[in-house]
Amino acid sequence: MLKSTYFSMARLIFAAGMWLLTAIAFAQNQVSGTVKSAEGSPIPGTNIVVKGTTIGTTSGADGTYSITLRQNNATLVFSSIGFQSKEVSVGNNSTINVMLVEDVSNLQEVVVTGLASSIKRSNLANAVGTLSAKELMGTTQIQTVDNAFYGKLPGVNMNTNGGAPGGGVSIQLRGISSLVGASQPLYIIDGVYANNGVNRSGRASVTGAGAETQDDASNRISDLNPNDIETVEVLKGPSAAAIYGTRANAGVIIITTKRGSAGKTKVSFAQDYGFATPQRLFGVDNWTEAKINTFFAAARRPIELERFRAANGQTWDYEKYFYGNTAPLSNTRLGISGGNDKTKFFISGALTDEKGIVRRTGFKRYSLRANIDHKLTNDITLSVGSNYINTNSDRGFTGNQNNSGASIGYNIAYVPNYYNLFPDESGRYPDNPYFSENPIAVTDRGINNTNVNRFIQSFNLTANLYKSEKSLLKLVGQGGLDYTQGTTFVYLPEDLQFQRAQGNPGDVIWGKTENVNTNFQTALVYNWNIGKVNLTSQAGAVRLNFREDRLLNRSRGLAGGQTNLRQGTVQEIFDQRFQTITDVGAFVQQEANWDDKIIATAGVRWDKSTLIGDADKFWAFPKASLAINIANFDFVRSSSLSSVFSQIKPRVAYGQTAGVPAFGTTFTPLNSANIGGLLGSVVTTAAGNAAIEPERAGELEFGLDLGLFNNRIQLEATYYDKQTRSNIQNLQLSPAVGISTIPTNLAQLQNRGVELSLGGTIAQKEKFRWSSRVLWWKNDILLTKLGIPAYNSGAFGVTLGTFLYQEGFSPTTIVGTRPARDANDTPAAEGVRTGAYILGNNQPDFQMSWSNEINFFKNFDFNMLWHWKKGGDNINLTEFLWDGGGTSPDWDEDDNGDGVPNGRQRGLAPHNGADRWVQDATYLRLREAALYYTVPTTSLNKWSNNKISRVRVGFSCQNPLTFSKYRGYDPETSTFGLQAVASGVDIAPYPTQRRFFGHLVVEF
């Protein structure tokens, strides 16, 4: 360890010495020119490199460049994102003007794969998913970044907590890598390890829903303004993400924000107005006297009949009242970018103000960003990015609850529509005789607010330490901090029905959570050439710190209308938790590129973390990959194949990563328990394991990329086999020993899958351009080893459907009770050892999406994205609740005509199993669609006197159409937030929405 430090020092000193020697000059030859597009407009920022060397420059704002050559017979390579690269032999010319052709493929884009290096997509050995700003947000305005990934990346499975404003999305890349915790991908924003945690709000305690996972709080990546993003790269598995080591098991999402470019200062203003409506309402059944007599107990019938008759045919559709509203949406953005050769800047400000469809809910985001790049010298570049964000979400009261009635959907399930819950003229809310709370009062007067102030600062320093004609040694220092301060506020006033029934009416929880992530990384990158082989060597070190500090206080028995904690009778420290985590790592990587024909990479990352039992032990994560561009070999180029195939690239990659145990896994604590004024120490029920190891995954990925007809058609096919071992599982001890669980590293998981992408330009005429892409993916999970007794876990137990953890099954298998079909029909006969029947599986059979970009009459753009998820079952407990209350829309119908209503006769007779609630959640959805019109430049110039450079108007929508037989609000719903397993549990969620927008963009 010390040795490696001294080794790096030696390299640094050596490098510094070498730099001093570069004063020696060679014969020089100046070449200059202009780079233009086919339309004749200059292309700024084009990279111009002398082939086989590290000598290069970039074109200026007017497309001009100038480069000094030190050799004869040089070839210049011109490349710019969005254009096909071009090689030009210099010969004796001193002026070379170049025209670049627009590239319909994305093969020239640069993908960041190493920690300090990048690679052209055409040379990539992994199926790295990338999304440009256009793909991410170019069609419609989406509230949060993660929500904008839907259907755009193969190998991704997503679920939403529900439709509450402010996000809450779970992303699983290539299946499930961990059986515990959230297992969400690592987000890195401009090199900063971003906080994607969930702040506990305590809502689940106030409403009685249960544990923290039912708070329905959103994951904090939702703070980020999606419009600031230039590109998103998704490293889906260990083979691509190995260099990120212990935190990469669930994949890595690398976000790069927009930066300025040299040239005229551009000002861009955009305004969107829109509205949201629920995707679907569940529907409410009407009542008749006959139904009342069926549903209610004899003793209860008279009063119900009296209420029914008193209503005199009037009904109140509570579902429509709560969910059927139209929510106004507004987004305002201002961006200013520009700069000169030395300094470039991008400044943006954005205001998002989106209301929810439920009254008094909504999401507001204020974001300010300044990204500055400055060249200190020709060889030293400093880039900084500063982002301040304030988000304010009011998410209301939905989802699970117990006893309190403080969930709209749960509550109204029990209220027949002939009963009036609305306040009288004096504003008094009637008590709800059907449940313990009046949901109108909760919605009008309850508060569930989260306010986050966040500051993300990144820096990147690149210094060319040594430069020769054929080699370049760079130092890359990178780091930053992510500071998040969140305040949560959950409040139910003292005069609500349920509160009045409490010993201390009125309940408020104030929470403060502070997260500070800091990271620092330094690397030396040496680029050199041996003959036609370009080599990139890098070595570096990383140190990460994550600190969380949270304190939640609760006060009950509140003074009238008061929310200050001190205005309560019973004041309580509800939760306090400190958490400090440090990781360190070192890495080396070697890339070799033989003339863009064969590209090989190998590397190792070593990591330590204080989350691991032995905090001072290094874990090694090797990787290796190989890509062969067959089409670049002369035997293909010179053959007739070259007229068809522009790219033939078989590729293979292998890598390892890990997942760290959750904080506290190593501790066996004595918890505090206060009783009778004394402090007690009680033995934990969840023991720790001081020898816990990280969960490790190895993934082999191979694939074939084909480019046909000058890359007009591109096919990417990938197969992966991801094996995780040392998966953490809590060994459930005999419950008689008084400690419930001990974490073990015994489980092993297998995820195998296929990802296909077929894209192409269907038409490319001046007045009609149409490019289209089809993605298809599937993943199969298998628990290959459990190492502990098979068990059921997740959701609400076997009687309502839960999940099976048993070797040879997928942990997405839904099991539960159901009536036996005959004597031989037992769980054991299905191979299940936990006493429950197999009822379904949350894992989809496959998913598919189809995206289209159509440009017609030059100035019109039409985009649409379809998404089809085939298979995958949900546990629909919303229907369970509504059936229980007699309110499901078909409750009183009688499909089989036997006189027993549907609401009491679902599933197998005698209709008491969990099989009733497990339902296929297949869907076909139009994710996004948009039509834009760009005002022609000529008329614009005439009209605005050249002051306005671009005006674009359009309409767009998100999720406007869904075709599904699933009976809940949304087949994508998942109550248990970010949990890796136990997805697809639907329990009275905040309905998701379809969103419609009108857009205006003006650029100066």
Partner 1 sequence: MKKIHLYTPIFAGLLLMMSSCNFFSLDTPNDPNNPSLGSVSQNASRTQVQNLVTGLESRHRDYLFTVTMLYGTMGRELWYLNASDPRWQTDWLGMNGRQATANMFGYLNTYQQPYFAIRQALTVIDAVNNTNTFTTEEKNAVSGFAKTLMAYQYLIVAMGQYENGIRIDVKDIQNPGPFLPLAESLTQIKRILDEGNTELGGAGTGNFPLRLTSGFTGNGFGTIASLRQLNRAIAARLAVYRQDWQGGLDAVAASFYSATGSLEAGPAHTFGAPPDTFNPLFFVKNANVSTMMVVHPSVLRDTIAGDARVRAKFFRRTAPVSVTSDGTPLAGLYQDNRFALNTSEVKFFRNEELVLIAAEANAQLNRTTEAVAAINRIRTAAGIGNYAGATTKEALIDEILFQRRYSLWAEPWGHRWVDLRRYNRLNAANVDVSIDRGTIFRQLARPQAEINWDEYVKTR
- Range 728-737 burial, b when 16+ CB lie within 10 A, else e: bbbbebeeee
| Cβ nearer to partner 1, comparing 38 with 376 | 376
Query: What is the nearest approach in angstroms of partner 1 to the Cβ of residue 678?
Result: 4
**Interface with partner 1 by CB under 8 A: which range of 175-183, 265-273, 340-348, 726-734?**
726-734
Using CB under 8 A, pick the residue from 38, 310, 530, 682 that binds partner 1: 682
Six-digit token string for 312: 């005199």
Instruction: Kindly state whether residue 835 participates in binding partner 1, applying the rule CB under 8 A.
Output: yes
* Contact flag: residue 652 with partner 1 (CB under 8 A): no
Binding to partner 1 in span 187-246, by CB under 8 A: 208
Q: Is the dihedral of CA 397, 399, 404, 409 positive or negative?
A: positive
Q: Could you tell me whether strands 64-69 and 129-132 are parallel, antiparallel, or unpaired per DSSP bridges? A: unpaired
The binder of partner 1 chosen from 453, 487, 504, 529 (CB under 8 A):
504
- In angstroms, what CA-CA distances link 389 with 198, 269, 270, 354? 16, 19, 19, 16
> Mapping DSSP to helix (H, G, I), strand (E, B) and coil, where does residue 949 land?
coil
- Does position 508 bind partner 1 by CB under 8 A? no
Q: How far apart (Å, rounded) are the C-alpha atoms in residues 479 and 462?
A: 12
Distance CA 729, CA 745 (A): 6
C-alpha span between 208 and 885 (Å, rounded): 19
> Given candidates 51, 307, 870, 904, which one binds partner 1 under the rule CB under 8 A?
904
List 21, 24, 736, 823, residue binding partner 1 (CB under 8 A): 736
Which two structure tokens, joined as six digits, stand for 30? Answer: 């100046």
Rounded to the nearest whole angstrom, what is the least distance from the CB of residue 971 to partner 1 in the complex? 24
| Closest approach of partner 1 to the CB of residue 472, in Å | 15
Among 64, 271, 610, 934, binds partner 1 (CB under 8 A): 610
Per rule CB under 8 A, is residue 433 in the interface with partner 1?
yes
| 833 counts as binding partner 1 under rule CB under 8 A | yes
Show the CA angle centred on residue 442, arms to residues 439 and 445, nearest 5°: 145
Shortest Å, Cβ 610 to partner 1: 5
> Distance (Å, rounded) from C-alpha 647 to C-alpha 645?
5
- For partner 1, the closer CB: 24 or 678: 678
CB of residue 638 to partner 1, shortest distance in Å? 47
- Stretch of 131-139, 221-229, 316-324, 829-837 lying at the interface with partner 1 (CB under 8 A): 829-837
Q: Tell me: does residue 764 bind partner 1 (CB under 8 A).
A: no
Instruction: Choose which of 110, 347, 368, 541 interacts with partner 1 (CB under 8 A).
Output: 541
* Out of 90, 96, 204, 687, the residue judged to bind partner 1 by CB under 8 A: 687
String marking each residue 864-903 x if it binds partner 1 according to CB under 8 A: --------------------x-x-----------------
Q: Tell which positions 558-577 bind partner 1, by CB under 8 A.
A: 569-573, 576-577
Residue 929 corresponds to which tokens in the numbers above? Answer: 């669609």
* Residues 589-608 interacting with partner 1 (rule: CB under 8 A): 608
Of the residues 203, 554, 778, 906, which one makes contact with partner 1 according to CB under 8 A: 554
Smallest separation (angstroms) from partner 1 to the CB of 460: 13
Task: State both tokens at 226.
Answer: 């999606």
From residue 702 to residue 721, the character string flagging contacts with partner 1 as x (rule: CB under 8 A) and all else as - is --------------------
- Measured distance CA(290)–CA(294) in Å, rounded: 6
Q: What is the closest distance, in whole angstroms, from the C-beta atom of residue 178 to partner 1 in the complex?
A: 21
- We find the least distance from the C-beta atom of residue 726 to partner 1, in angstroms, to be 17
User: Left, alpha or beta for 423 (phi > 0: left; psi -120 to 50: alpha)?
Assistant: beta
- Shortest approach of partner 1 to residue 908 CB, angstroms? 12
Handedness of CA 869, 132, 645, 38 (dihedral sign): positive
Query: Least distance to partner 1 from the beta carbon of 566, Å?
Result: 15
Q: Count interface residues toward partner 1 (CB under 8 A).
A: 120
When binding is defined by CB under 8 A, the residue of 328, 669, 808, 831 that contacts partner 1 is 669
**Least distance (Å) from partner 1 to the CB of residue 21?**
13
CA-based R_g, the chain, Å: 30
Is the preceding peptide bond at 827 cis, omega within 30 degrees of 0? no
Query: By CB neighbour count within 10 A (0-12 exposed, 13-18 middle, 19+ buried), where does 442 fall?
Result: buried
**Would you count residue 620 as binding partner 1 (CB under 8 A)?**
no
Q: Does 416 bind partner 1 (CB under 8 A)?
A: no
Under rule CB under 8 A, residue 676 binds partner 1: yes
H runs (alpha helix) in 385-437: 408-412
Which alpha helices (H) appear in 338-422, and where do they start and end? 408-412
- Closest by Cα among 701, 751, 852, 749 to 128: 701
Residues 793-822 interacting with partner 1 (rule: CB under 8 A): 796-800, 817
Alpha-carbon distances, residue 19 vs 22, 314, 525, 539 (angstroms): 6, 87, 15, 19
Do residues 867 and 924 lie in contact, with contact meaning Cβ atoms separated by under 8 Å? yes
- The reply on whether position 681 binds partner 1 by CB under 8 A is yes
The correct pick among 212, 230, 317, 431 for binding partner 1 (CB under 8 A) is 431
Please give the full DSSP string across 114-140, using - where no structure is assigned.
Answer: SSS-EEEGGG-SS--EEEEHHHHHSSS
